[in-house]
Chains A and B, each alone.
Chain A
Amino acid sequence: MNPISETVIDHYLKLAGLADEYGAIDLALDLLDRGVPAEDVLLDLVAPAQARVGELWAADEWSVAREHAATAVSDRVVAAVAAHARPRPTRERIIVACADGEYHALPARLLTEVLRLRGWQVDFLGASVPDAHLITYLHQTDPEAVAISCTLPTRLPRAHATLTACRSVGVPVLAGGRGFGPGGHRARLLGADAWASSARLAADRLDRGLPPFPPQPAALEHLADGEYTYLAGRRGDLVARVTRTLSAAYPPMASYDARQMETTAEDLAHYADFLAAALYVDDGALFTDFVTWTAGVLRARGVPDGAVPAALDVFAGELRDFPRARRFLAAAAAALTGPS
Chain B
Amino acid sequence: MSGTCAQGDPARSTADRSPSPPDRPAPVLPADAPAPVPPPGRPVPDEQQRTRFLLEVGARLSASLNLHRCARTAVELVVPFLADAALIVLPPGAAGRSAWLRAADDRSRPQEGVITAAEASTVPGLAEALTGFPPAPSRWLDPAQAPGWLLPEGYGPAGHLLVTPLPGNGVAAGALVLARRIGTPSFEEETEALVRVFAARVGAAISAALLYQEQSSVNQVLTTGLLPPPLPELDGVELAGSLRASQKATRIGGDFYDVYLPGPARNGPAGDDPADQDGAAALVALGDVCGKGAQAAVLAGQIRHSLRALMLVERRPERLAELLNRFLLGFPPPRSFATMVLAELRPAAGRLRVGLTAAGHPPPLILRRDGTVEESTARGTLLGVFNEVTAASVAVDLAPGELCLLYSDGITEAFGGPTGEEMYGEHRLRADLSTCVGMPARAVAERLEQLSTEWLADHGGIHDDRALLVIQARTR
- A residues near B, CB below 8 A? 19, 21, 63-66, 68-69, 71-73, 75, 101, 103, 127-128, 130-133, 135-136, 138-142, 168-170, 212-213, 232, 235-237, 239-240, 243, 259, 262, 265-266, 268-269, 273
Nearest Cβ on chain B to A269's Cβ, whole angstroms: 4
Given contacts A69-B439, A101-B454, A239-B419, 18 further A-B contacts (CB under 8 A): A19-B439, A63-B438, A65-B436, A65-B438, A68-B439, A71-B443, A101-B453, A103-B446, A103-B449, A103-B453, A133-B249, A140-B220, A142-B66, A169-B65, A212-B76, A239-B418, A240-B421, A269-B417
> Least Cβ distance of B106 to chain A in Å?
15
Tell me whether B399 is interfacial, beta carbon within 8 Å: no
B361 to A: closest C-beta gap in Å: 25
Between A and B, 19 residue pairs with Cβ closer than 8 Å are A64-B435, A65-B436, A66-B438, A68-B444, A69-B438, A101-B453, A128-B450, A131-B248, A133-B250, A136-B250, A138-B66, A141-B66, A142-B64, A169-B69, A235-B420, A236-B419, A236-B459, A240-B421, A243-B419
Chain A residue numbers with a CB within 8 Å of B213 are 140
Q: Give the shortest distance, in Å, between A241 (CB) and chain B (any CB).
A: 9
The contact of A130 among B66, B248, B442, by CB within 8 Å, is B248
Known: A19-B440, A65-B439, A69-B440. A139 touches B418 (CB 8 A): no
In the complex, B73 has a CB within 8 A of chain A? yes
6 cross-chain pairs, A with B, having the tightest CB-CB distances, nearest first: A236-B420, A269-B418, A130-B248, A265-B418, A132-B249, A72-B443
Q: Is B458 an interface residue (CB 8 A)?
A: yes
Please provide the chain B residues from 413 to 444 with a CB less than 8 Å away from any CB of chain A in the complex. Answer: 416-421, 431, 435-440, 442-444
Chain A contacts for B438, CB-based, 8 A: 19, 63, 65-66, 69
Inter-chain contact B248/A170, CB cutoff 8 Å: no
- Whole-angstrom distance from the CB of A75 to the nearest CB of chain B? 8
Main secondary structure of the interface of A (DSSP, over half): helix
Task: From the candidates A170, A232, A240, A262, name the one contacting B60 in the complex (CB within 8 A).
Answer: A170
**Cβ-based interface call for B68 (8 A):** yes
Q: Beta-carbon contacts of B43-79 to A below 8 Å, as 1s and 0s? A: 0000000000000000010011111110011001000
**How far is A130 from B446 in the complex, measured between Cα atoms in Å?**
16
* Docked-complex contact B63 and A168, CB < 8 angstroms: yes
Across-interface contacts of A138 in B (CB, < 8 A): 64, 66
Bound together, the chains give a CA A243 to CA B444 distance in angstroms of: 30
Closest to A65 in B: B438
Residues of A within 8 A of B419 (CB): 236-237, 239-240, 243, 265, 269
Interface flag for B392 (CB, 8 Å): no
Query: Which residues of chain B come closer than 8 Å to A169, judged between CB atoms?
Result: 63-66, 69
Complexed CA–CA distance, A168 and B65 (Å)? 12
**B216 at the A/B interface (Cβ < 8 Å)?**
yes
**Do A170 and B436 form a contact, CB below 8 Å, given A71-B443, A132-B248, A239-B419?**
no
Contacts of B155 in A (CB 8 A): none
| A133 and B212 contact, Cβ closer than 8 Å, known pairs A127-B446, A139-B66, A213-B60 | no
| Residues of B83-100 contacting chain A, CB below 8 A | none
Say whether B308 faces chain A, with CB atoms less than 8 Å apart.
Answer: no
Q: Cβ of A168: which chain B residues have Cβ within 8 Å of it? A: 63
Alpha-carbon separation in the docked complex, A68 to B248 (Å): 26
Contact between B212 and A232, CB atoms less than 8 A apart: no
- Please tell me if B319 contacts chain A, counting CB pairs below 8 Å: no
Contact A142 B68 (CB under 8 A): yes
**Total B residues in contact with A, Cβ cutoff 8 Å:** 44
Assembled-state Cα–Cα distance A236/B419 (Å): 4
Closest residue of chain B to A158 (Cβ to Cβ) is: B458
The interface residues of chain B lying within 8 Å CB-to-CB of A243 are 418-419
- B196 proximal to A (CB < 8 A): no
CB B305 to nearest CB in A, in angstroms, measures: 25
Is B418 a contact of A69 with CB atoms below 8 Å? Answer: no
In the assembled complex, which residues on chain B have CB atoms less than 8 Å from the CB atom of A237? 419-420
Closest to A233 in B: B458
Q: Which residue of A lies closest to B459 (CB)?
A: A236
Contacting residues, chain A, for B431 (C-beta < 8 A): 259
Q: Which residue of B lies closest to A68 (CB)?
A: B443
A136 to B65, CA, bound (A): 9
Q: With A and B bound together, what is the CA distance between A71 and B418 in angstroms? A: 27
Interface: B447 (CB within 8 A) = yes
Contacts of B64 in A (CB 8 A): 138-139, 142, 169-170
A120 to B190, CA, bound (A): 43
Closest B-chain residue to A209, C-beta based?
A: B109
Inside 8 A of B449's CB, which chain A residues have their CB? 103
Tell me, yes or no, whether B353 is within 8 Å of chain A by CB. no
B251 at the interface (CB under 8 A from A): yes
CA distance A68 to B437 in the complex (A): 10
Q: With A237-B420, A239-B418, A269-B418 in contact, do A72 and B440 touch (Cβ < 8 Å)? A: yes
Residues of B within 8 A of A68 (CB): 436, 439, 443-444, 446-447
Docked pose: A82 CA to B67 CA in angstroms: 32
Q: How far is the CA of A136 from the CA of B212 in the complex (A)?
A: 11
Q: In the complex, what residues of A have CB within 8 A of residue B440's CB?
A: 19, 21, 69, 72-73
Q: Does B457 contact A (CB under 8 A)?
A: yes
Q: How far is the CB of A61 from chain B (nearest CB, A)?
A: 15
Q: Is A103 in contact with B450, judged by CB distance below 8 angstroms?
A: yes
Q: Bound complex: CA of A72 vs CA of B421, how far in Å? A: 33
A60–B213 alpha-carbon span in the complex (Å): 51
Whether A140 pairs with B216 at a CB distance below 8 angstroms is: yes
Minimum C-beta distance from A221 to chain B (A): 23
Please indicate the chain A residues that have their CB under 8 angstroms from the CB of B417 in the complex: 236, 265-266, 269
Cα distance A242–B433 in the bound complex, in angstroms: 28
From known contacts A130-B248, A169-B64, infer whether A69 and B453 are also in contact, taking CB-CB under 8 Å: no
Cβ-defined contact, B63 with A170, below 8 A: yes
